[in-house]
Amino acid sequence: MNNNKKLHLLAAAALLLATGLAQAQVRLYGLLDMSAGAAKAPGGQSIKGVDSGKMTTSYFGLSGSEDLGGGLTASFTLDSFLRADVGNNGRFNGDNFWARNAWVALSSKELGTVRLGRNTTPLFVQTLAFNAFGDSFGYSPSIRQYFSAGATVSGTTATGDTGWSDSVLYLSPKFGGFSAGAFVAAGEGAGGRNFGFNANYGGGPFAAGFTYQNVKKDGAAPLADTKTWQAAASYDFGAAKLFGQYGKVDNTTTGRDYKIAGIGATVPIGDGKLLAQYGHLGASVGPDRKTFSFGYDHFVSKRTDVYAVAMSDKLDGLSGGSSYSVGIRHRF
């Protein structure tokens, strides 16, 4: 077969695929975040390199929906994390392929939405929504102190990952700016079930939220079982948006607890914004952690932004940690 015929066949196949996706109302989307910089953990050595996902964990996904009539909608989402710096899937070796999201849902305008499968936790969503650095595992003090594996000397604080498998998530409709949710993950022989609930308000420049979760599944020994609550709020003054969080993680396996407080701000400047966030993790046993991040994020288009950020990370009793990155994010 000559090259022209091959090209014609490839073009025809691409056209058929695009037509099929359009008819099925399936959308392909994602985000790639790449940066160059250096990182030094408290007590460690500085490592320079090129990284994926310092501001947002890179991912791609598929989603679709169908109007069932009578105010009902069926939908699905499949999201996969990836490491663009090494061309590998997942956040780490051994991560599930669809670890970000993998659910099917039924929605009603009057009754709300029920999702079945692997769902992102309300605790993670609230934590990213109420801090200046969003969902950055590289630079958000809030995300790092609740979810990072290095949050304490002995390991992570809130267990159960940022998503729960075998779960049912209910999201209520909004009533005058108020909404609520409930979350449960079946044990299925893996150490007990997880459950949680949340409530949110968003109206005008003010927003607030409260979430609670109890994790007995998906925790790594000896930090398996934890109870976590968090209250958060933000206010947008126009010239600046302020964020505040306070929460507590009780590790019922070890008997230790962690109090986590955060305050931050974003300040619009031209087509970008300054970012600043401070977080303090107070441990009942072991050293406290103090983290401060600062940077500038500039949008060159609706889908592409460039950033320069730095972080100071201090753990009592160890030499100070520091990081910096210059990077680009592109959404598709």
The residues near 92 (Cβ < 8 Å, ≥ 6 apart) are none
The residues near 13 (Cβ < 8 Å, ≥ 6 apart) are none
pLDDT digits (tens, 9 = 90+) for 3-43: 445 444 544 444 445 455 555 579 999 999 999 999 999 99
- 109 burial class (0-12, 13-18, 19+ CB within 10 angstroms)? exposed
Please list the ranges in the chain whose pLDDT falls under 70. 1-24, 189-191, 218-223
The residues near 258 (Cβ < 8 Å, ≥ 6 apart) are 151, 152, 157, 248, 249, 251, 281, 282, 283, 284
Cβ density class 87-101: b for 16+ within 10 Å, e for less: eebbbeeebbebbbb
Quick one: pLDDT at residue 172? 98
Question: pTM of this prediction?
Answer: 0.90
> What residues does each domain of the chain span?
28-331
Helix (H, G, I), strand (E, B) or coil at 327: strand
Question: Which residue in 55, 136, 128 sits closest to 305, CA to CA?
Answer: 55
Cβ density class 288-307: b for 16+ within 10 Å, e for less: ebbbbbbbebeeeeeeebbb
Give the whole-angstrom CA distance, residue 302 versus residue 167: 34
CA distance to 11, 152, 231, per residue, from 290 (Å):
55, 11, 19
- 237 burial class (0-12, 13-18, 19+ CB within 10 angstroms)? exposed
Name the token pair of 181. Answer: 């949710």
**Could you write out the DSSP letters of every residue in 252-313?**
TTTTEEEEEEEEEEEEEETTEEEEEEEEEEEESSS--EEEEEEEEEEESSSSEEEEEEEEEE
**Could you write out the DSSP letters of every residue in 183-240?**
EEE--TTSSS-EEEEEEEEEETTEEEEEEEEEE-SSPPTTS--EEEEEEEEEEE-SS-
pLDDT digits (tens, 9 = 90+) for 99-144: 999 999 999 999 999 999 999 999 999 999 999 999 999 999 999 9
CATH architecture of the region 28-331 = Beta Barrel (2.40)
